[in-house]
Amino acid sequence: MSRIAPYGDEVRVRIGGPAGFGIKAAGQTLARVFARAGYNTFDLTEYPSLIKGGHNTYHLRISEEPIFSHVVPTDVLVALDATTIPLHIGELTHGGAIVFDPHDIAAEDIGVGDRDDLCLVAVPLTDIVTEVDGIKIMRNVVSLGAVLGHMDFPLEGLLDSLRAQFAHKAPEIAEQNVAAATRGWEVAHEIKCDFPVTLAPRESAEPKLLVDGNESMGLGAMAAGIGFYAAYPMTPASSLLSYMGKHAQANGFVVKHTEDEIAAINMVIGAAFGGTRSMCATAGGGFSLMVEGLGFAGVSESGIVVGVFTRPGPATGLPTWTEQSDLRFVIHASQGEFPRVVLAPGDQTDAFEMAWQAFNLADQLQTPVILLADSYLCDNRQSTPMFDTSKVTIDRGELQCTGTVSDYARYKVTDSGVSPRALPGVEGAQQIVNSYEHDEHGWGSPGEEAVNRVAQNEKRLRKLKLAETLVPAPVEFGPREADVSILLFGTTKMPVLEAAKWLAEEGIAANVLQLKTVWPFPSPVVREFLERSKRSMVVELNATGQLEGLIREHCLRDVSHCLNRYDGRPISPEQVYQAIHLLLHRNVELTPAGAIVPSKGDAR
């Protein structure tokens, strides 16, 4: 296997080409092959907002050891067009390979410059597709066979996967793909390289899932007993709508593709009133349309779950890229003051667990709960241990489903802030639900008295105190005493933990505090973490330091250093690793492939 410090033994494959070439589908097929062969995998898909054309890449990381994120270097570059090579040749490691079609790209035109270490694997992708009477898009399947042939990896796993993938189509289509992959394997296997990269299937200690964040949240919602999901497609939330629709009938819930996001959140509020666990999801632009509905859920005390999966704004921004710039937006969205909970999953396991927890919190607190994710989590797949469904609990809070109630006060003022709730059909449970302030019985206009307004507003806000006892607590990784202490929320968890692992191998201790709940803000835990830190750093994907500002506001403490990225790309572990070395006054250098090599000197 390939080794470049500090990455360890692993292989990285990048597939590049224009949209419409089946790049992501092909890459995910390759990921399934290696995951089933006992390897840990992590993929990263990057693409512009075009149906066809543009430059798309799929990067797959394969390792025997646990891995947490993507990395920069590439060992095998599959170029489905000529544009891919000049864009990514600088990321190739020493001895790396380029798989290309000599029908489209002449070897002498590749322009490797002084990179005489690279292996050129010329595979006639187009000619092979013609041989098997296939269509042009099948060049991606030929390239998958070529990647495995270059690695001397057995072909059977890929062939089994292709047959399963095309089982719903005519048998000859599956066999065309099998023949194309086989021929690609044979051609690439015959090409010998000076620095061969070889892999072999290994025994896996435990079965694993290969899921992205949206699939994980969908599974968590199903485990929670979701009854209704409504959404209008918006990247990166669109795939969750597709996933929920695919599994709705078998799991006994309803999915509605609404005409817009306004309809989605209002339908979810209505379903929640009827006692159904309900959820909608969108991106920042769609959430902008949902904001008035969010306030309606707040004043009507409707327990709903809202997924806000962020991408760079403002407005349409960068629709297919990633960012964490909506943190302040979701905390303060809608006019007036009302409680909400904001959860920020950091990886696929978090996404599953925090999805089912969100439904419990929505019922227990009778208020909106927001799942704040981003494109890096939603779109990318990782092999992960099977989700622990034994931990899933169902808590519907103060809910009466049957029988009779007397003197029903839907908005009764209570010490906890949570009022009695009865479903429609329970005798005596009459109420009016609208967006006005209300009195204890929920009759609308009588709620305009000043004393009633104060009582209802304070009652609702008391839910935040209760929420602090119910929400997922911050999680700390690494030693209690460390050279550098890092604070983060959401998906920066993944590259930061990867970098921390590399640093630990060099004797540099880093501890990490992940804020699973960003609202209500966990001030006591953050304050204590900062008080014992030698050097502190916030890592986040936005330009204005939104988490840093919340820390300053709620803890009255400064963070000594910040690492911000806001170009639409996820923070890489290399960036974190380099930033911490610089913080410790150590030098690091980059290889031509973008890999980091630490200096041998001690910190000054």
Q: Which domains does the chain have, with CATH numbers?
A: 2-190 (3.40.920.10), 210-391 (3.40.50.970), 399-468 (no CATH), 475-598 (3.40.50.920)
Q: Tens digit of pLDDT for each residue in 25-36? A: 999 999 999 999
Question: What is the four-CA torsion angle of 280, 282, 285, 291, rounded to 10 degrees?
Answer: 20
**Radius of gyration (Cα) for the chain, nearest Å?**
26
Nearest Cα to Cα of residue 275 among 201, 341, 225: 225
278-282 vs 305-310, strand pairing mode: parallel
In the block, residue with structure tokens 């859920």: 297
Calculate the alpha carbon distances from 402 to 426, 428, 429, 430 in Å: 5, 11, 10, 14
* Residue 388 C-beta-side C-alpha neighbours within 13 Å: 7
pLDDT of residue 242 exceeding 50, the answer is yes
Peptide bond into 592 cis (omega under 30): no
Q: Where are the alpha helices (DSSP H) in 69-170?
A: 84-88, 125-131, 139-150, 156-165
Tokens of 170: 């005519």
Q: Tens digit of pLDDT for each residue in 181-215? A: 999 999 999 999 888 888 889 886 688 999 999 99
* Nearest-angstrom CA–CA distance, 316 and 332: 21
Query: pLDDT grade, residue 591 (50/70/90)?
Result: low
In the block, residue with structure tokens 């995951």: 35
Q: Please state the pTM of the whole predicted model.
A: 0.94
**Three-class secondary structure assignment of 3-68:** ECCCCCEEEEEEEEEEECCCHHHHHHHHHHHHHHCCCEEEEEEECCCCCCEEEEEEEEEEECCCCC
Q: Using CB atoms within 10 A of its CB, is residue 175 exposed (0-12), middle (13-18) or buried (19+)?
A: middle
Which residues are CB-neighbours of 4 under 8 A, at least 6 positions away?
Answer: 73, 93, 94, 591, 593, 595, 597
* Nearest-angstrom CA–CA distance, 325 and 491: 13
Question: Stretch 410-428: mean pLDDT, rounded?
Answer: 95
Question: Which of the two residues, 316 and 402, has the higher pLDDT score?
Answer: 316
- With a pLDDT cut of 90, the percent of the chain lying above it is 83
Q: Tens digit of pLDDT for each residue in 293-331? A: 999 999 999 999 999 999 999 999 999 999 999 999 999
- With a pLDDT cut of 70, the percent of the chain lying above it is 95
Tokens of 344: 């920020």
47-61, 102-116, 188-202, 359-373 — which one is most confidently predicted on average?
359-373
9-19 vs 74-79, strand pairing mode: parallel
* Nearest-angstrom CA–CA distance, 259 and 231: 9
Question: Stretch 167-185: mean pLDDT, rounded?
Answer: 91
3-state DSSP assignment of residue 131 = helix
